[in-house]
Amino acid sequence: MAKSTLLLLLHLHFLLLFISSSAAAASRPAFACAPESPAASLPFCGTSLPIRARVRDLVGRLTREEKIQMLVNKAAGVPRLGIAGYEWWSEALHGVSNVGPAVRFGGAFPGATSFPQVISSAASFNASLWEIIGIAVSDEARAMYNGGQAGLTMWSPNVNVFRDPRWGRGQETPGEDPTVSGCYAAAYVRGLQQPYGHNRLKLAACCKHYTAYDLDNWKGVDRFHFNAVVSKQDLEETFNVPFKACVVEGKSASIMCSYNQVNGIPSCADPNHLRNTIRGQWGLNGYIVSDCDSVDVLYNNQHYTSNPEDAAADTLKAGLDLDCGSFLAQHTGSAVQKGKVSDGDIDAAVTHTVAVQMRLGMYDGEPSEQHFGDLGPNDVCSSSHQELAAEAARQGIVLLKNSKRGALPLSTANLRTVAVIGPNSDATVTMIGNYAGVPCGYTSPLQGIGRYAKTIHQMGCTNVACTGDDQPIDAAVAAARQADATIMVVGLDQSIEAEGRDRESLLLPGRQQELVLKVAAASQGPSVLVLMCGGPVDVSFAENNRMIKSILWVGYPGQAGGAAIADVIFGAYNPGGKLPVTWYPEEYVEKVPMTTMAMRADPSKNYPGRSYRFYTGPVVYPFGHGLSYTTFSHSLARAPAEFAIPISNRLRANYVNLIELNRTVPVIHAQCDGLHILLHVDVKNLGRRDGTHTVLVYSNPPVGHSAPTKQLVAFKKVYVVAGRQIRVIIKIDVCKDLSFASVDGIRRIPIGDHNLQIGGELTHSISVKVDGLRI
């Protein structure tokens, strides 16, 4: 979000809201279609009519100017019809957030539960957790809406693929894998929206930022000017996957288009993307909104059109329905006068936005008399939600290293004191990352550890940047000398990785590495290193250091993060998180320009490729890495050895040649409905501690295609009691999971042996054929 002009306006807006807040609560304008409304008896207020008919009735009553003033986030009201203005911009990425101007904390709602940042929740690899968090957040948002302190249209989640480890907003995403990101998008959106009745919604979610947006500001290239050059193959197989899952599986009520251009066309002005792909192919039932000020950006910064009317026309005709900003309110009128925009274009946009408002109940009178009308202050920061935030934080913690002797969990038996050291050791606001709100309260790492042992606290660095000669490293070393064990909490915060701020290096900033090494060397007992950061860091120095017994990655673990960290360190909880991104060594980013979008390696250009799917060079830790205090083994109980893809008789007649040519079946030719393979996998807990484990299933397609070397096709998290074994049934969708996109962007299923890798040690080959054809 937010160019500085917009920010300024927003601050003013905040100020005004603040000044008038107490008055507003009391003398709030009546809700549209309340009994006293001048429109109460009109068809658009008729709750028994279908949404579509109500929308048509309302849009038919509006003047052109009224509709134009509804094309922006701060949509004007229509007093003559009893319709109040509406601020569309609310955010709920990992808890109700006040980044959007519709949300106000204070009064009956001083805060909301702040769940772990998304990259941390992703590390749980637990799809039901993602949905359950969505439900909790929607309870809180709906309660705040009922109390007049939030909107119902959340511009969350951010599901851009975390393509480059330097991206400042990678923390907001579910990571680098399209399968995980798609699954996250669908699960979180389902939770947030909780659809009910006929096409009704509790909240409207919005997956952003469509598409190929994952660069904020790197070496002078910023998102407002960046043209992402993306192949059809990468778009289909990587960048668009989470958005498709969001719309098709999650049924999201909205998509946000991004600032950047994709292959020379601003995302928000590309009819091929908005109208054809999102609305046409995927069937979006909802609205498309621009990132904030991006219509202004494509005119004023990118100079994509030579006059503002063309910018209005290009975006509306491309399929944009709502402008976060004011551009369309200002310039659509003159665009109509100049014949560039038709009333039909405007009606289409307003029809999409109003339909979502109606589905949310905004034209059904008082919220208190509606579904969810009983949600109130007691539902926000409730003890069950705060416990869920702590549980999510525990599930998201990843044990990266644990050497055999003197390692985690720490026993409190002989522990008199623990030295707690590092710039994030007493973190509070750092733990909630960006797009957060005001949390219910915090448990910092120092406080969490203090529940288990007596602590000696030293920051070691005055802040995460940790530069200059006067850093209190010596005091930290002295503390470590006095204690029986040392816990160092280091990492990053929003001053290093943030919106508008990409990194240039993957190393720990400033003198943090020196602090860690000196403290570990001086430590009397075991040294535990805790990394609090969103994006990956190159900590090879610590992985290779014998004095550092254990390393944890905790992401940005949310309001209860410190309690969760301590629960893991002292063994009250057995960690089971896994990395949702590859942790590359520093040399990787020295070789790879952030601006190169290509996923595939190109040896002729010395380009190593991106993510575990294409990059095969050295890593600090691989995607999917994560240890436990116990160990698990896998065995295959049942799986098919071959699989025949059904195709229609009509196609089969032409098929022999096509398959001989390329040995693939285009997914559109396959009869995909319900087509799947089931794997029955036994997971055994070999250790002495109960624990959770995520079974990851990768596929290696037959060779000779430009498919990923390896692709995660399924994952399932299970809890296994020590010494026991349980059976997990894993479903693989043949058309979705076993296909790849060829250079023309068309999805194809390769014929031949697909090798599945299950949980690291197991492999199983499935021979894929075409039904009724011998090859």
Ligand X SMILES: *[C@@H]1O[C@H](CO)[C@@H](O)[C@H](O)[C@H]1NC(C)=O
Which of the ranges 43-51, 121-129, 536-544, 549-557 carries the binding residues for ligand X, by CB under 6 A? 121-129
Told to check if 628 binds ligand X by CB under 6 A, we report no
Told to check if 587 binds ligand X by CB under 6 A, we report no
# residues contacting ligand X (CB under 6 A):
15
CB 687, min distance to ligand X, A: 17
Told to check if 662 binds ligand X by CB under 6 A, we report yes
436 has which bridge partners? Answer: none
Show the tokens assigned to 442.
């915090």
319 or 691, CB closer to ligand X? 691
Which of the ranges 107-115, 128-136, 411-419, 442-450 carries the binding residues for ligand X, by CB under 6 A? 128-136
CA dihedral 142, 357, 29, 83 (to 10 degrees): 180
Told to check if 718 binds ligand X by CB under 6 A, we report yes
Which of the ranges 73-81, 123-131, 421-429, 551-559 carries the binding residues for ligand X, by CB under 6 A? 123-131
Which of the ranges 74-82, 127-135, 491-499, 674-682 carries the binding residues for ligand X, by CB under 6 A? 127-135
Told to check if 129 binds ligand X by CB under 6 A, we report yes
CA 562 to chain centre: 22
175 or 701, CB closer to ligand X? 701
- Which one among 9, 17, 49, 132 touches ligand X, defined by CB under 6 A? 132
287 or 629, CB closer to ligand X? 629
d(CA 112, CA 379): 10
d(CA 138, CA 355): 20
Estimate the crossing angle of helix 343-359 against helix 51-61, to 10 degrees. 130
- Which one among 742, 749, 752, 756 touches ligand X, defined by CB under 6 A? 742
Determine the residue type at 678.
L
389 or 532, CB closer to ligand X? 389
Q: Are strands 676-685 and 632-638 parallel, antiparallel or unpaired?
A: antiparallel
CB 100, min distance to ligand X, A: 27
d(CA 267, CA 254): 15
What single string gives the DSSP state of each residue in 376-440?
A: -GGGSS-HHHHHHHHHHHHHH-EEEEE-STT-SSPPSTT-SEEEEESTTTT-SGGGG-SS----S
Told to check if 636 binds ligand X by CB under 6 A, we report no
CB 273, min distance to ligand X, A: 22
Which of the ranges 150-158, 584-592, 633-641, 737-745 carries the binding residues for ligand X, by CB under 6 A? 737-745
CB 546, min distance to ligand X, A: 33
CB 53, min distance to ligand X, A: 40
Does residue 737 carry a catalytic annotation? no
For residue 392, how many other CB atoms are within 10 A of its CB?
27
Give the DSSP H/E element, type plus range, for residue 549.
strand 548-553
Alpha-carbon radius of gyration of the chain: 27
367 or 626, CB closer to ligand X? 626
Residue with tokens 């997971």: 683
188 or 588, CB closer to ligand X? 188
Residue with tokens 């059809």: 232
CB 240 within 8 A of CB 275: no
Count CA atoms within 13 Å of residue 72 on its CB side: 23
Told to check if 654 binds ligand X by CB under 6 A, we report no
d(CA 158, CA 118): 9
Which of the ranges 124-132, 146-154, 345-353, 547-555 carries the binding residues for ligand X, by CB under 6 A? 124-132
Show the tokens assigned to 515.
């602090």
Cis peptide before 209 (omega within 30 of 0): yes
Instruction: Give me the catalytic one of 139, 291, 379, 493.
Output: 291
Residue with tokens 């008919």: 53
Which of the ranges 379-387, 458-466, 614-622, 712-720 carries the binding residues for ligand X, by CB under 6 A? 712-720
For residue 763, how many other CB atoms are within 10 A of its CB?
12
DSSP-assigned letter for residue 702: P
Residues in 365-424 at the binding interface with ligand X, rule: CB under 6 A? 391
d(CA 435, CA 441): 17
CB 129, min distance to ligand X, A: 4
Told to check if 128 binds ligand X by CB under 6 A, we report yes
Determine the residue type at 653.
A
CB 69, min distance to ligand X, A: 43
- Which one among 661, 674, 688, 774 touches ligand X, defined by CB under 6 A? 661
CB 658, min distance to ligand X, A: 6
CB 126, min distance to ligand X, A: 4
- Which one among 704, 743, 771, 775 touches ligand X, defined by CB under 6 A? 743
CB 623, min distance to ligand X, A: 20
490 or 741, CB closer to ligand X? 741
Residues in 680-699 at the binding interface with ligand X, rule: CB under 6 A? 692
Query: What's the burial of 101, exposed, middle or buried (CB within 10 Å: 0-12/13-18/19+)?
Result: buried
496 or 568, CB closer to ligand X? 568
Alpha-carbon separation of residue 214 from 117, 559, 619, 676 (angstroms): 17, 26, 21, 33
Q: State the catalytic residues.
A: 291
Which residues make up the interface to ligand X (CB under 6 A)?
126, 128-129, 132, 391, 661-662, 692, 706, 717-719, 742-744
